[in-house]
Amino acid sequence: MPVETAGALEKRVFEMNPFEFSTARRIIFGSGKREALPELVASRGKRVTLITGATSLKRSGALTKLVDALSARGLAVRVLSGVPGEPTIDGVGAVVAQARKFAPDVIVSVGGGSVLDLGKAVAGLVPNPGTVLDYLEGIGAGKKLEQEPLPHVALPTTAGTGSEVTKNAVLGARMYGVKRSLRDPRLIPTVALVDPELTLTLPPKQTAHSGLDAFTQLVEAYISRRANPLTDGLCLEGVRRVGKSLRIAFRDGSNLAAREDMSLAALLSGMALANAGLGAAHGVAAALGGRYNVPHGLACAVLLPHVLELNRSVAEGRMAELAGTMLGRVYVNRSEGAKRLIAEVKGLLEDLEIPPKLPGVRVERDELPGLVKASWGNSMRGNPVEPSDEQIAALIEAVVEVV
Ligand SMILES: [Fe+2]
């Protein structure tokens, strides 16, 4: 049998397939644009449940201003706070029960990815009977939402997950050692209202973690088997903005132009991942995050160079394009370009003070097979190389201490 060249293999993996593309019905982007919130809500109803969790938002007074603006527009507002971190099944159940009592017409979520995900879960579950578990994939009954979710306006306060335009709500189910999603295209928020000014107070560490989550999402969606021409354009533009601005936003959080680039990169990463899927960094990060208390963006970041190394044999042309986009040049030699991307990613991680391994995570050797199995979630399907269990175990061993 003739040996397939790397170029021919890549061409076959990435040949154009039929695709569909869904995103928020409306995207409003720009500094100061949060002022549009009262009008956006008032055109959809009179009673609004505002989901938040961000204490820094409360401290800065931004939350009070948003609530006051909604009240001044004559809207009945009920503020509900989730617990810090990813929403859990019980946590979502409690917030949904409170929201059902209030009977809102509209959901507004203001916060990081977890808060926006909680907003999606509440928007989906308030009009539908039953519990969270009834609708959860994998560990629950996986029922379909019969009724349309409530209108949902999502305002991100981090620049990372792109949750404002994705169709799933990630829920922690630590008792099962996994994360699972409520997933439905109708859970994409109705309006993504992205105001980069809301990210100005994000501390450097969270700026790095969330920015690297967005970056990993852009890279994985670009080299995903399910990439399509629309997501390709979004990913390249997002990667260009990350290359230009993530280091600046990390060093000087008050630099609005850099914050704008990162908010846009995060938005583009969400649009891309919702339609092209992700890869092994997100697959393994979900398994580690389900078992250990590690920030999602940090887990993605430490995994990314290893995942790129794994995928180089199949995706080096695409990786060379990403390197060229980040560095503003063209790599005619694909192999050189792909290596350049990996070096560039490592340099970026170093500049953002990301350690090579997840600090404080110790994994017993006999836990490895379980983690490998848990890595085979939805994300893994986009990965260009179909990894063996040994290759997944090697990824895990590369980023945690195995004892
Ligand atoms: Fe992510």
pLDDT confidence of residue 170: 87
> Residue 310 and residue 201: Cα distance in Å, rounded?
36
**Is position 242 within any domain?**
yes
Q: What is the mean pLDDT of residues 162-170?
A: 94
Q: Please give all residues whose CB falls under 5 A of ion ligand 1, grouped by chain where several chains appear.
A: 213
Q: How far is the CA of 216 from the centre of ligand 1 (A)?
A: 7
Which amino acid is located at 222 in the chain?
A: Y
345 in Cβ contact with 304 (< 8 Å): yes
Q: How far is the CA of 297 from the centre of ligand 1 (A)?
A: 6
Structure confidence at residue 2 as a pLDDT band (50, 70, 90): low
**Is position 44 within any domain?**
yes
Q: What is the mean pLDDT of residues 293-305?
A: 96
Q: In the predicted model, what is the mean pLDDT of the chain?
A: 93
Q: Please state the domain count of the chain.
A: 2
CATH number of 232's domain = 1.20.1090.10
Query: For the segment 255-289, what is each residue's pLDDT rounded down to a tens digit?
Result: 999 999 999 999 999 999 999 999 999 999 999 99
> Residue 351 and residue 218: Cα distance in Å, rounded?
19
101 & 209 share domain: no
Query: For the segment 349-372, what is each residue's pLDDT rounded down to a tens digit?
Result: 999 999 999 999 999 999 999 999
Lowest mean pLDDT among 63-67, 302-306, 348-352: 63-67
pLDDT confidence of residue 16: 74
Query: For the segment 372-393, what is each residue's pLDDT rounded down to a tens digit?
Result: 999 998 889 899 999 999 999 9
110 & 152 share domain: yes
Range of the domain at 259: 202-402
Q: How far is the CA of 359 from the centre of ligand 1 (A)?
A: 19
Closest CA to 216 of 125, 345, 121, 108: 345
Q: How far is the CA of 42 from the centre of ligand 1 (A)?
A: 32
Q: How far is the CA of 4 from the centre of ligand 1 (A)?
A: 33
106 in Cβ contact with 45 (< 8 Å): yes
Query: For the segment 208-245, what is each residue's pLDDT rounded down to a tens digit?
Result: 999 999 999 999 999 999 999 999 999 999 999 999 99
CA distance readout (Å), 112 to 77, 117, 176, 200: 20, 9, 24, 13
**Is position 22 within any domain?**
no
87 & 126 share domain: yes
Q: How far is the CA of 12 from the centre of ligand 1 (A)?
A: 27
pLDDT confidence of residue 176: 67
CATH number of 183's domain = 3.40.50.1970
